[in-house]
Amino acid sequence: MEFDTITAISTPMGEGAIAIVRISGDEAIQIADRIYRGHNQKSLQKVESHTIHYGHLVDPNSNEIVEEVMVSVMKGPKTFTREDVIEINCHGGLVSVNRVLQLVLSQGARLAEPGEFTKRAFLNGRIDLSQAEAVMDLIRAKTDRAMNVALGQMEGRLSKLVRKLRQEILETLAQVEVNIDYPEYDDVEEMTHKLFMEKARSVRSELKKLLQTSQQGKILREGLSTVIIGRPNVGKSSLLNSLVHENKAIVTDIPGTTRDVIEEYVNVRGVPLRLLDTAGIRETEDIVERIGVERSRAVLKEADLILLVLNYSDDLTKEDEMLFETVRGMDVIVIVNKTDLPKKIDLQRVQELSEGRVVTTSLLEDQGVDELEEAIASMFFEGNLEAADMTYVSNSRHIGLIAQALNAIEDAMNAIEMGTPIDLVQIDFTRAWELLGEIVGDTVHESLIDQLFSQFCLGK
C-alpha cells in the first residue's frame, strides 16, 4: 500500500528544550536531505538506518540557515509506520518548530491529519485496531494502573485473545462444513449440534471473563466521575483540596463560596477520579448561586460515585435528608466532616441512610483522608486489580462488541437446544466471528477507522 509523504509536529506546542517534527512516507528521506546540511557533508540517503545526525536546516531557495537540528533517519519497514521516517529534533519554541514545519511542507510533504501516523501503522499491518486505540489510551493515562492496562493492550494482549477465539469459531465452522459435505454417519446432524455446543460453551466462558473486567478497565481508561455534594459550608472544597493535595478550591466560612462546578483529576490508590466539587445544594435567592446549584444537580445524573459530605457539628437537616433521597440507588460514600468540633449529628441515623458506607474526617486536621481513599478503591476494585497477567477490556467500543458477540453465541446455544437447523446456527456463529473481528480491525468499515483516528492528537 502506497501513501503520500506526511509531516506534523509530534511534541506539545509551547516552550521547551526540544521539539520534534516527524516525516513519514516514501519521500521522507529525500525531503529531509534537500534541506539538511551536515558537517560531514554526507547525504541522509546514504547513512545507515536508525542513526541520528547533527547539522543545520537550510532554506534551499535562499541558503538561509533556519535551525540547528539533530535528524534521526529510520528506514522502513522497521519503523512505527513501516515507511521511511525522519524525526527532526529542533529547539522547542513556537517560532522555531513552526519554521521547521513550514520548510518541510515547502518541499512537498503534506500536513498529517490527526492520528494519521498511527493510522498508517494500522493500514500497513504494523499494529491492529485495538493496539492503535491503546496508543491514545497510553498518552491519556492518568495513573500507573491505567498505563499498565494500555501497555498490555498495545502489546497485543487483547488482540491475541480475540484472534484465538475467532480462530476457534472459524475452525468449528469449517469442521461443520466438512461434516455436512462428507457425512460418514447417519446421525451427522446430532454430531454437528454437539460440536457447536461444546465450542459455544468454551467461547462464551472466555467472553464472560473479558466482560467481568470491563467495569474496572473502563474506569481506569476514562476515570471515575466523582461528584462531591452537600449543604454549603460542610467542607466540600476542603475535601477536594485534600484529595488533590493542592488548594484548588477557595475555602471560607461563608456559605455559598463555591458558585460553579470545579473539575480536577486525582489519583486515588491507582484509581483515576474525575473529581467534581459542586456548589452547595440549598434554596437560595442569590441568582448566581442558584445557577451553580442547578449545575450541581445536573452533574449528579452523570456520576459514577457520590461523595456526600455532612457536618459532624450540625444536626441532620431536611436538606441533608433530601440529598440522601436524591442519590438513592447510586454508589455513595458519606463523609461526616469536622470531627474536631463538638458532635451534634445522629451517626446512627446516618448509618441507616447510607447503608453503612460512612467515613469520618477532620479535613482541617488532615484526619480520615486515608480511610476515604481506601473506601473508594475497595468499592470499585476490591483488591482484584493487582493480577498483572489479566486481560482488561477498557474501551467502550470493545466492550459493546464483546457483549454483542456473547449474545450471538448465546443465541446459537438456544437455537441448538431447540433443534434449529445447522445452517441457521451457523449464522449466529459467523456473526460472533465478525463482531470480534471489528475489535482488531479485520472486519471493520473504513468510515469507522476514519472516525477513530480523527480523535487522535495531531502528530501521533
3-class state of residue 92 by DSSP: strand
At 244-262, the pLDDT tens digits run 765 443 333 434 434 344 6
Domain that residue 156 falls in: 132-213+392-443
Question: Are 400 and 381 part of one and the same domain?
Answer: no
Cell numbers that stand for 208 in this block: 464472560
Are residue 180 and residue 233 in the same domain, yes or no? no
**What letter does residue 191 receive in the DSSP assignment?**
H
CATH of the domain at 403: 1.20.120.430
Whether the per-residue pLDDT at 80 is higher than 50: the answer is: yes
Same domain flag for 229 and 376: yes
Domain membership flag for residue 457: no
pLDDT at residue 457 in the model: 74
pLDDT score of 117 more than 60:
yes
Mean pLDDT across the stretch 356-374? 85
What mean pLDDT is predicted for residues 175-191?
Answer: 60
228 and 365 co-located in one domain? yes
Residue 179, C-alpha cell as written in the block: 461434516
Per-residue model confidence (pLDDT) at position 57:
95
Which pairing describes strands 110-111 and 6-9: parallel, antiparallel, or unpaired? Answer: parallel
Q: Report how far residue 460's alpha carbon sits from residue 455's, in angstroms, rounded to the nearest whole number.
A: 11
Do 251 and 336 sit in the same domain of this protein?
Answer: yes
Distance from CA of residue 52 to its chain's centroid? 33
311-348 pLDDT, tens digit each: 888 888 888 888 888 888 888 899 988 888 898 888 88
Is the per-residue pLDDT at 23 higher than 50?
yes
Residue 141 pLDDT more than 80?
no
Q: What pLDDT is recorded for position 294? A: 59
Identify which has the larger pLDDT, 251 or 14.
14
For the cut 60, the answer to whether the pLDDT of residue 283 exceeds it is no
Query: Is the domain of 244 the same as that of 375?
Result: yes
Name which of 175-189, 224-238, 264-278 the model is least confident about.
Answer: 175-189
Question: What does the pLDDT read at residue 50?
Answer: 95
- Please give the residue that has the higher pLDDT: either 187 or 426: 426
Task: Return the number of other C-beta atoms located less than 10 Å from residue 182's C-beta.
Answer: 8
Give the closest residue to 165 by CA, choosing from 401, 419, 333.
401
* pLDDT computed for residue 54 by the predictor: 94
pLDDT the model gives residue 29: 95
In a domain, 123, yes or no: no
d(CA 103, CA 35): 8
Instruction: Judge whether 142 lies within some domain.
Output: yes
Give mean pLDDT, residues 93-108.
93
- pLDDT value of residue 252: 37
Q: Which pLDDT score, from 0 to 100, does residue 282 have?
A: 44
pLDDT of residue 255: 41
User: What was the pLDDT predicted at 179?
Assistant: 63
Is the pLDDT assigned to residue 219 strictly greater than 50? yes
Residue type, 186: D
Query: Exposed (0-12), middle (13-18) or buried (19+): which is 94, by Cβ within 10 Å?
Result: exposed
For residues 375 and 234, state if they share a domain: yes
Contact 89, 80 (CB under 8 A): no
φ and ψ at 262, to 5 degrees? -100, 125
Residues of the chain with pLDDT > 90, as a percent, come to: 29
Residue 104 confidence (pLDDT) above 70: yes
| Inter-axis angle of helices 396-417 and 214-222, nearest 10 | 160
Q: Comparing 382 with 29, which gets the higher pLDDT? A: 29
Q: How many domains does the chain have?
A: 3
